[in-house]
Amino acid sequence: MEIEKFSAGKPIKHLTGYTYFLPNGINEEWTWQDATINKLIETAAIKLGELNSYATLVPNIDLFIQLHVTKEAVISSRIEGTQTNMDEALLDEEEISPERKNDWQEVNNYITALNQAIAELEKLPISTRLLKQTHKTLLQSVRGEHKLPGDYRTSQNWIGGNSLMDAVFIPPHHEHVYDLMGDLEKFIHNQDIHVPDLVKIAIAHYQFETIHPFLDGNGRIGRLLITLFLIDKNIMSKPLLYLSTYFEKNKSLYYDNLTHVRTKNDMKQWLKYFLVGIAETAEQASQTLSAVIALKMKLETEIYQSFGKKSSKANLLLQQLFKKPIIHVKQVQALTKTSYKAANDLVSDFVAAGILKEMTGQSRNRVFVFEKYLELF
């Protein structure tokens, strides 16, 4: 398929009166005439290579990955209307007010779903089975819990508007979902076609969002699919690249580019937009890692110079804060295996040194945040 001659699909009128969009399959060879795409692929690959280098050079890289995952969960969920911020996402459930708990749960479900899916890649390929498992976790005990979590839809869905009659976009009828997802899965794993992996995942993400195979959670699963693909193809050695921030930065542009593929057959512009996003996001992630490393080295030096006999416990606390930058005195007590007073004194020392900041304004049940670290994300 030459991208410049691409046909996205066709409208089909259903017996009940509404018209849905039936996309064409994508499991075939793809070529293009526009040399700009080749240049964008090259630039994106270079930026990904630089990010991978950071991932292999940084000691204890897994300390930082969890905050990347949390940020992705917050941003990807925000695109869908969830209002939880980074500070809230890192709090324990009992610290969340009742009116915010549903949003908090959705974000934390995303974190769990993403971590589980990455772990499952060790034994499962990207497949219907993996996507369904991930979807089930995503919708557990939240607003979408009655919308067939863990299974493809068996009814018609739509995007925008209040009904099928005024919808902005109507995905394919549910009777086509399994065939279309089967074609998508074959495309992802087809070794007989010579499509660069970054082009392949750009097309796959578009196709997934067009099929909209689930009743709810399609945006989040579709964006998560990008990260899973990059890891599965060994393009990324660690889960450090997420496009949700890029998509959220100008949501209307994201949706417009997806829509133009369906309405104008403009796959070329979608590829350019996606590849620019990969390059920009990889560069930003590299800069973030560089800043994290600099902060870590600076604070380790300060602790060595200023904390005296407490240096060992202080370093232990610092490493924990890079993993989870919100903490209570009791958690510090458990971590350092000391008395409550000693843990409280250590936290006070961190506050005095400008490492921690109390975030509740309360005299009891205080919560402390590693603000300088969070600001880097």
Each residue's pLDDT tens digit, 154-210: 999 999 999 999 999 999 999 999 999 999 999 999 999 999 999 999 999 999 999
> Do 323 and 283 have their domain in common?
no
More confident residue, 59 or 161: 161
The pLDDT tens digits of the residues spanning 114-123 come to 999 999 999 9
CATH code, domain carrying 156: 1.10.3290.10
Sorting pLDDT into bands at 50, 70 and 90, what band is 133? very high
Mean pLDDT of the 122-140 span:
95
Mean pLDDT of the 88-105 span:
86
Sorting pLDDT into bands at 50, 70 and 90, what band is 64? confident
> Do 259 and 324 have their domain in common?
no
Three-state DSSP state, 355: coil
Three-state DSSP state, 364: coil
Compute the distance between CA of residue 261 and CA of residue 280 in angstroms, rounded to an integer. 22
Q: What count of other Cβ atoms lies within 10 Å of the Cβ of residue 368?
A: 23
Query: What are 207's two structure tokens?
Result: 């196709």
Mean pLDDT of the 89-99 span:
84
Per-range mean pLDDT, top range of 79-93, 265-279, 350-364 = 265-279
β-bridge mates for residue 159, sequence order: 169
Q: What count of other Cβ atoms lies within 10 Å of the Cβ of residue 146?
A: 9
Q: What is the pLDDT of residue 229?
A: 97
> Do 219 and 249 have their domain in common?
yes
> Do 121 and 94 have their domain in common?
yes
Compute the distance between CA of residue 244 and CA of residue 220 in angstroms, rounded to an integer. 9
Q: How far is CA 309 from CA 188, 202, 215, in A?
A: 55, 53, 57
Sorting pLDDT into bands at 50, 70 and 90, what band is 361? confident
> Do 189 and 316 have their domain in common?
no
Q: What is the pLDDT of residue 68?
A: 85
Compute the distance between CA of residue 114 and CA of residue 231 in angstroms, rounded to an integer. 12
Q: What is the pLDDT of residue 178?
A: 98
Which residue range(s) make up the domain with 83? 3-288
> Do 357 and 215 have their domain in common?
no
Q: What is the pLDDT of residue 145?
A: 80
Give the percent of the chain with pLDDT over 70: 100
Q: What are the φ and ψ backbone dihedral angles of 366, each rounded to 5 degrees?
A: -70, 150
Q: What DSSP state is assigned to residue 356?
A: -
How many domains does one find in the chain?
Answer: 2
> Do 205 and 329 have their domain in common?
no
pTM: 0.92
Q: What is the pLDDT of residue 99?
A: 83
200 part of a folded domain: yes
CA angle 135, 137, 140 (to 5 degrees): 105
Q: What are the φ and ψ backbone dihedral angles of 148, each rounded to 5 degrees?
A: 50, 55
Angle between helices 177-189 and 128-138 (to 10 degrees): 110
264 part of a folded domain: yes
Mean pLDDT of the 245-268 span:
95
The pLDDT tens digits of the residues spanning 307-319 come to 999 999 999 999 9
235 part of a folded domain: yes
Q: How far is CA 182 from CA 124, 157, 161, 208, in A?
A: 16, 19, 29, 11
Residue with tokens 């620019």: 276
Mean pLDDT of the 238-261 span:
94
Q: What is the pLDDT of residue 149?
A: 95
> Do 314 and 277 have their domain in common?
no
CATH code, domain carrying 346: 1.10.10.10
Report whether 109 contacts 224 (CB < 8 A). no
Q: What is the pLDDT of residue 285?
A: 93
> Do 204 and 337 have their domain in common?
no
222 part of a folded domain: yes
298 part of a folded domain: no
The pLDDT tens digits of the residues spanning 9-24 come to 999 999 999 999 999 9
Mean pLDDT of the 49-68 span:
84
User: SS3 sequence, 126-142?
Assistant: CCHHHHHHHHHHHCCCC
Residue among 48, 86, 50 nearest 67 (CA): 86
Q: What is the pLDDT of residue 57?
A: 78
Sorting pLDDT into bands at 50, 70 and 90, what band is 253? very high
Mean pLDDT of the 43-56 span:
92
134 part of a folded domain: yes
> Do 134 and 253 have their domain in common?
yes
Mean pLDDT of the 257-268 span:
98
> Do 254 and 179 have their domain in common?
yes
> Do 221 and 363 have their domain in common?
no
Residues 6+ apart with CB under 8 A from 282: 44, 47, 48, 50, 51, 241
293 part of a folded domain: no
Residue among 376, 377, 371 nearest 357 (CA): 371
Query: What are 116's two structure tokens?
Result: 């589980």
Q: 247 pLDDT exceeds 90?
A: yes
The full DSSP string for 221-254 is HHHHHHHHHHHHTTS-SSS----HHHHHHTHHHH
Q: What is the pLDDT of residue 143?
A: 77
22 part of a folded domain: yes
Q: What count of other Cβ atoms lies within 10 Å of the Cβ of residue 220?
A: 28
Give the percent of the chain with pLDDT over 90: 80
Q: What is the pLDDT of residue 364?
A: 81
β-bridge mates for residue 144, sequence order: none
